[in-house]
Amino acid sequence: MNTQLAANTKSDYVVAKFGGTSVANFDAMSRCAEIVCADNQVRIVAVSASAGVTNHLVALCKRDLSAAERDEHITGVVAIQEAILAELSLDADLAHGFNETLKAFQNLASEGAKSVAEQDELLSFGERFSSYLFTQVLRGQGLDAVRFDVRKVLKTDSQFAKATPNVAATAAAAKEHLVPLLDDQVVVTQGFIGSNEHNQTTTLGRGGSDYSAALLAEAINAKSVHIWTDVVGIFSTDPRLCAKASPIARLSFDEAAEMATFGAKVLHPATILPASRSHISVFVGSSREPQLGGTWIEKEKSQQPGIRAVTQRKNQILLTVKSPEMLLASGFLARVFTILSEFNISVDLVTTSEISVAITLDNAPNASRPELDQACLDKLSEFCHVSVENNLTLVALIGSEIQLRQQEMNLMQVLSDFNIRLICHGASKHNLCFLVEQSESDYVVQAIHSRLLESQVAA
Ligand code: ASP
Ligand code: MG
């Protein structure tokens, strides 16, 4: 056992999370194990399912699968585990648990999930498998590692597929079951999954392991959470789109939350919530190249005012409602928003004038929001002229203290080449957003990055 472990005080604990590509196979897991071994403050390791596994599980949740398709996905999941197992020999405690879990998976997957609760149970197997395997990899590198079922502590409501954590219940359970283990062991547990008050398995939504790690860090009063992924931090924009995109060394919680919300894919958007309310710093780095550093997200404001990143979110809808009747009358906005909330529609950006309001709605395939349905449009049409435009992209500039200074004047020049549908600025000093045609949005992002962010780095 690593004797230095016991010397650390509780507030020095670090939770490390390894994403799907970081635990995709034995070699990737071994690199992650080296990271854990090198930092004796890491006491909890939360793992994702190995890359590809959750996609198979999602496919297995579909009700209309043919037997052949079902078989193909079951084989796919098992093959990924077996490839890792081929390089490992599981200790008896882990072998027993793993084999039981494998049987349970095969039973449920071949029967098919018959309820949303069973779907979450099925989705949970990826993280359950990878946590057994990763525990053994850590032991192979000499650490005293123990596997822990996170469902004992990560308590949620019963909204299957997108459960909301119960922070108080999680903290209480962690204090009882998890904290006592941390003094002299490294605990390996699962991201993404939790359990409700009846101990049924729940999941936090796709990509939810980052969120789990932050929630666990909060529950054990850790000082930081390290999110190890396949990129060296959060970039000024998507590097696949702009070759000159660069990692950002420091972000404030507000900036990071805006980036995650507005489309930067690196972190699950909810991750920042527990971190910022409990002052836990978040590090994002690459498990392949840990020596390259990454992005630190902390409470402090970032270095200087200005624009730090540009993101985009495609598949946005622009809903415009206009009511000449409401000229000089009051209550127009209240009526519109009451109807939207009746239909459970969550509004993104809003701009208004006396008799009209323009609203954007997120219609991305993974958006958790219900579609804008005809019944809602009919109800608005009773007192408004309603128009709906699709195929738009929301482009967001993220930074701190964004004000219309020199840099933003350059922005106006860049934008003059494009058709801008709506601009929102002022409600938050951390973003400036606008809508553009989806077909043009990649060019808009490239133009903004090259004009505003690359020149900034050079300056
Ligand atoms: N395995 C889950 C997913 O692929 C959760 C995660 O990796 O964060 O969405
Ligand atoms: Mg992820």
Q: What is the pLDDT of residues 102-121, one digit of tens each?
A: 999 999 999 999 999 999 99
Mean pLDDT for the stretch of residues 310-327: 88
Instruction: Please determine, for residue 2, whether its predicted confidence score (pLDDT) is greater than 50.
Output: no
Q: Can you give the residue ranges of every domain in the chain?
A: 13-229, 307-458
Q: Is 20 in the pocket of ligand 1 (CB under 6 A)?
A: yes
| pLDDT (mean) for 327-355 | 84
Residue 336 has pLDDT above 60, yes or no: yes
Name the residue among 247, 337, 323, 321 with its Cα closest to residue 284. 247
Tell me the average pLDDT across 449-457. 78
Lowest-pLDDT range, 209-213, 291-295, 339-343? 339-343
Residue 24: the pLDDT is 98
Q: Which of 23, 206, 368 to mutate to test the pocket of ligand 1 (most atoms within 8 A of CB)?
A: 206
- What is the atom index within ligand 1 of the atom nearest the CA of 206? 9
Q: Which atom of ligand 1 is the closest one to the Cα of 55? A: 4
Q: Reduce the DSSP state of residue 189 to 3 states and report it.
A: strand
For position 272, what pLDDT does the model report? Answer: 94
Is it the case that residue 123 has pLDDT exceeding 90? yes
Query: How buried is 112 (Cβ within 10 angstroms: 0-12 exposed, 13-18 middle, 19+ buried)?
Result: middle
> Whose C-alpha lies nearest to ligand 1, atom 6?
207
Q: What angle do CA 74, 78, 79 make, to 5 degrees?
A: 115
CA distance 95 to 90: 5
Does any ligand 1 atom lie closer than 6 A to the CB of residue 131? no
Average pLDDT, the chain: 90
Are 242 and 312 a contacting pair, CB within 8 Å?
no
Interval 40-64 mean pLDDT: 96
Residue 306: HSE in the Cβ half-sphere, 13 Å Cα cutoff: 15
Identify which of 32-36, 264-268, 420-424 has the greatest average pLDDT.
32-36
Domains 13-229 and 307-458 share a fold: no
Report the C-alpha gap between 320 and 357 in whole angstroms: 6
pLDDT at 406: 66
SS (H, E, C) 73-137: HHHHHHHHHHHHHCCCCCCHHHHHHHHHHHHHHHHHHHHCCCCHHHHHHHHCHHHHHHHHHHHHH
Contacts of 250 (CB under 8 A, 6+ apart): 295, 296, 297, 298, 300, 302, 303
Q: How confident is the model over 169-178, as a mean pLDDT?
A: 97
| Confidence (pLDDT) at 3 | 39
Ligand 1 pocket, 212 CB below 6 A?
Answer: no
Q: Please report the pLDDT score of residue 11 as a whole number.
A: 61
Q: What is the pLDDT of residue 269?
A: 87
d(CA 358, CA 341): 16
Distance 79 CA to ligand 1 centre (A): 18
- Predicted confidence at residue 369, as pLDDT, reads 52
CB 209, CB 226: distance < 8 Å = no
Q: Which of 5-9, 190-194, 305-309, 415-419 has the lowest mean pLDDT?
A: 5-9
What is residue 283's predicted lDDT score, i.e. its pLDDT? 97
Q: What is the 359 CA–ligand 1 centroid distance (Å)?
A: 31
Instruction: Assess contact for 251 and 234: CB atoms under 8 A.
Output: yes
**Ligand at shortest distance from the CA of 77:** 1
| CATH (residue range 13-229) | 3.40.1160.10
pLDDT at 266: 82
Amino acid 450: pLDDT: 93
Q: Separation of 334 CA from ligand 2 center, angstroms?
A: 38
* pLDDT at residue 455, rounded to an integer: 64
CA of 55 to the centre of ligand 1 (A): 9
Task: Indicate the class that CATH gives domain 307-458.
Answer: alpha beta
State percent of the chain over pLDDT 90.
Answer: 73
Cα dist from 106 to 75, 79, 134, whole Å: 10, 13, 21
| Residue 458 pLDDT greater than 60, yes or no | no
User: Separation of 55 CA from ligand 2 center, angstroms?
Assistant: 13
Q: Taking 90 as the threshold, does the pLDDT of residue 282 lie above it?
A: yes
CA of 205 to the centre of ligand 1 (A): 8
Confidence of residue 1 (pLDDT cuts 50, 70, 90): very low
Judge whether 33 and 138 are in contact, CB under 8 Å: yes
Supply the pLDDT for residue 400: 84
Q: Is 410 left (phi over 0), alpha (psi -120 to 50) or beta?
A: alpha
- Cβ atoms of 40 and 241 closer than 8 Å: no
Work out the pLDDT band at 397, boundaries 50, 70, 90.
very high
Residue 191 Cβ < 6 Å to ligand 1: yes
Instruction: Determine if the pTM surpasses 0.85.
Output: yes
Give CA–CA dist 108/127, Å, rounded: 16
Q: State the DSSP string of 433-446.
A: EEEEEGGGHHHHHH
Which of 181, 209, 155 lies closest to 44, judged by CA?
181
Residue 371 has pLDDT above 70, yes or no: no
What's the distance, Cα to Cα, between the start and end of the chain in Å? Answer: 50
> Which atom of ligand 1 has the smallest separation from the CA of 19?
7
Whether residue 231 is predicted with pLDDT greater than 60 in this model: the reply is: yes
Predicted local confidence at residue 343, as pLDDT: 87
Tokens of 405: 């200074």
Q: Are β-strands 42-47 and 186-190 bridged in parallel, bridged antiparallel, or unpaired?
A: parallel
Look at residue 456 and tell me whether its pLDDT is greater than 60.
no
Per-residue confidence at 362, pLDDT binned at 50, 70, 90?
Answer: confident
